[in-house]
Amino acid sequence: MRAPLGPIACTLVALATAGPAAAEPRAAAVGPYAEASLGAAGFLGAGGQYSHPGPAFAVRGGVDVFSWLSLGARVELETHQADVPPPPEGEYFQLYIGAADGRLGFQVGRVALFADGSLGLAFMSTNVLAKVDLVGPGESWSPLLSAGGGLEYQLQNRHYAFGLAGQWSVLSSFAGMQSLGGRAYLRYTY
Amino acid sequence: MTAMSRSCRCPARPRIALLCLLGAGPGACADDPVYIQPEAAVEVVPGEGAAAAQLTLPIRLEREAEATERAARAAELGIEVPYVRRDDLDLSVEWTIKNLDAEPGVARIQLNGANEFFAYVPIAFVVDPEEEETPPPLSGDVPLDIAGSSTRSGVFQEDLLAEASLDLELITRGGVSPFTALLVDQETLRQIEADGAVIPSDAFASLVRFDLTVVADHHMVLEFAVRVRDHRDPPLLHDDLTSAPPDELTTFAPADFAPAAP
């Protein structure tokens, strides 16, 4: 006897596509989260004159204290090509960042809007910018202050979201260098 | 393209940057380069034909444990063991030369220098200038055509300066003729025999002083920077580099090496 495959297949398709999510978005998960992002960052002013924009990679982790407030930390790495008057020429430097993060936001349907800020430390891998006095003698570390915002799209699975964000940062010990960055990210909330 | 050209070196930089970007982190990049610049450029004014500059690396004072270990190693080998060893530092010198005249000119950059024991001064090997040829410098001396009102850049790469450090050891503590030492590739040399003792490669001294001379037929200015990758833990370079207080830096007093009379 042949199994009634047609009705079964129709039922499976209906189960996969039906449900409240199709009519109204499911609430995003709230709790511990992890986030990975890839983007680009570039310096403004004198920093931009003597370096090129470069790729930026970051991971974040923390906890949603409320649905509208998250606290966490991030580790970030940027790579830039220096453009100081030669010599040296064509050199790269890295910026390693560790910071405490805070984020305020609200959700409208599947989309969340947020503003975030962070306070931490940045480490510059070389003194190549010392030639143009952006970095002092023996100076590798700087306090870092960042502020930004973005929007996030909640996926069907309530644990996952992806988003786009922008960020302004200032490195006070590196002659007050400022940077602007953008990133695309994937966020998982437990 | 000269042997000092930077074309072989640039491709390595993005790879290093990529390794760091891929999460190797600060630990993997602990020997990130540090750049040390002289206080002033080297200017060859018309009519003089040559100008020189000297730059000594800002090396911190030796720690007691390091001195003790070095003394023990020296006693074991029966030779002087340097504080700054060739394996501790990867050195390169990046340069840019500008021809300030409208006419094209030719320049040569001669790189000499010193380790903590001896300085190499080619003219010291010449007893009779009319009969003897001056030995070559440790590196460089390649004619560089520079168009009028233009700039040319290059680099003495890490492998060239590692060879220069070795050649200086061969010429001084090894007693080898500079012509032999400098014109033959010694890169694979693992030890130097000196007065019955053997200097193993881990006791080869590093260059700690750079003597750059520009010979030019027009008005030219040379700027250079020494790029150092410091592998010693803790690093040999002082944190404040050339801005460090003098009493926190090692004072090197290398002797100008003069060959024994025949």
pLDDT tens per residue, range B70-102: 999 999 999 999 999 999 999 999 999 999 999
Residue B185: the pLDDT is: 76
The pLDDT of residue B79 is 93
More confident residue, B17 or A70: A70
DSSP assignment, residue A19?
S
Token pair recorded at residue B131: 């009969």
Residues of the domain holding B233: 35-256
Inside any domain, residue B30: no
> Which positions 98-137 of A are in contact with B (Cβ < 8 Å)?
123, 125-128, 130-131, 137
Compute CA distances A182 → A54, A55, A103, A164, whole Å: 11, 10, 16, 7
Q: Of chain B residues 171-230, which have a CB less than 8 A from chain A?
A: 223-225, 227
Q: How far is A78 from chain B (nearest CA, A)?
A: 7
Residue B5 lies in a domain: no
Which chain A residues touch B227 with a CB distance below 8 Å? 88
In degrees rounded to 5, what are phi and psi of residue A31? 160, -155
Distance from CA of A79 to the nearest CA of B (A): 7
CB contacts < 8 A (A, B) = 79
Quote the tokens at residue A43. Answer: 């310096």
> According to CATH, what is the number of the domain A5-189?
2.40.160.20
- pLDDT value of residue B132: 85
> What are the φ and ψ backbone dihedral angles of B236, each rounded to 5 degrees?
-75, -30
CB of B259 within 8 Å of any CB in chain A? no
pLDDT for position B92: 97
Nearest to B169 by CA among B124, B140, B203, B210: B203
Percent of chain B topping pLDDT 70: 88
Q: Is residue B246 part of a domain?
A: yes
Give the pLDDT band (50/70/90) at residue A9.
Answer: low
Positions in chain B whose pLDDT score sits under 70:
1-30, 261-262
Count of Cβ atoms closer than 10 Å to residue A74 Cβ: 20
Q: Tell whether B74 is covered by a domain.
A: yes
Please state the rounded mean pLDDT for residues A56-63: 98
Closest by CA to B242, choosing from B50, B56, B22, is B56
pLDDT of residue A22: 47
B248 lies in some domain: yes
Amino acid making up residue B40: A
Q: Is the pLDDT of residue A13 over 90?
A: no
ipTM: 0.79
The predicted structure's pLDDT at residue B194:
78
Taking the C-alpha atoms of residue B204 and residue B164, their distance in angstroms, rounded to an integer, is 11
Q: Is the pLDDT of residue A8 over 80?
A: no
- Cα atoms in the 13 Å half-sphere on the side-chain side of B74: 13
Would you place residue A21 in the very low, low, confident or very high pLDDT band (cuts 50, 70, 90)? very low
Per-residue pLDDT tens digits for A93-119: 999 999 999 999 999 989 999 999 999
Closest residue by Cα to residue B168 from B144, B189, B195: B189
Q: What is the dihedral of CA A53, B222, A132, B91, to 10 degrees?
A: 70
The reported pLDDT for the residue numbered B97 is: 97
**Is residue A52 pLDDT above 80, yes or no?**
yes
Structure tokens at A160: 């996952």
Confidence band for A15, pLDDT divided at 50, 70 and 90:
very low
Domain count, chain B: 1
Within an 8 Å CB–CB cutoff, is residue B240 touching chain A?
Answer: yes
Residue A31 backbone class (left: φ over 0; alpha: ψ -120 to 50; beta: rest): left
Residue A140 pLDDT exceeds 80: yes
Q: What is the dihedral of CA A99, A100, A105, A111, to 10 degrees?
A: 50
Domain ranges of chain A: 5-189
Q: Give me the residues paired with residue A161 across strands.
A: A154, A187
Each residue's pLDDT tens digit, A154-188 = 998 989 999 999 999 999 999 999 999 999 999 99
pTM: predicted TM-score of the whole model, two decimal places? 0.82
DSSP state of B10: T
Q: How far apart are CA B116 and CA B84, in angstroms?
A: 8
pLDDT recorded at residue B28: 43
Rounded to a whole number, what is the distance in Å from the CA of B176 to chain A's nearest CA?
34
CA distance B236 to chain A (A): 13
Q: If we measure between CA atoms, which residue out of B211, B237, B206, B224 comes closest to residue B37? A: B224
Q: Dump pLDDT digits (tens) for B102-132.
A: 999 999 999 999 999 999 999 998 888 888 8
- Ordered DSSP codes for B182-250: HHS--TT--EEEETTEEEEGGGPBPP-EEEEEEEESS-EEEEEEEEEEE-SSS-SB-TTGGGS-GGGB-
Q: Which residues of B touch A39 (CB under 8 A)?
A: none
Tokens describing residue B191:
């030890």
Please tell me if residue A83 touches chain B, with a CB cutoff of 8 Å.
Answer: no
Let me know if residue B8 belongs to a domain: no
Write the CB contacts of B29 (distance below 8 Å, at least 6 apart in sequence): A94, A125, B16, B19, B20
Quote the mean pLDDT of chain A: 89
Q: Which of B16, B26, B242 sits opposite A96 (nearest CB)?
A: B26
Rounded CA-CA distance A170/A105 in Å is 23
Does position A20 have pLDDT exceeding 50, yes or no? no
Task: List CB contacts (< 8 A) between B23 and chain A.
Answer: 57, 77
**Beta strand B255-256 with B118-119: parallel, antiparallel or unpaired?**
parallel
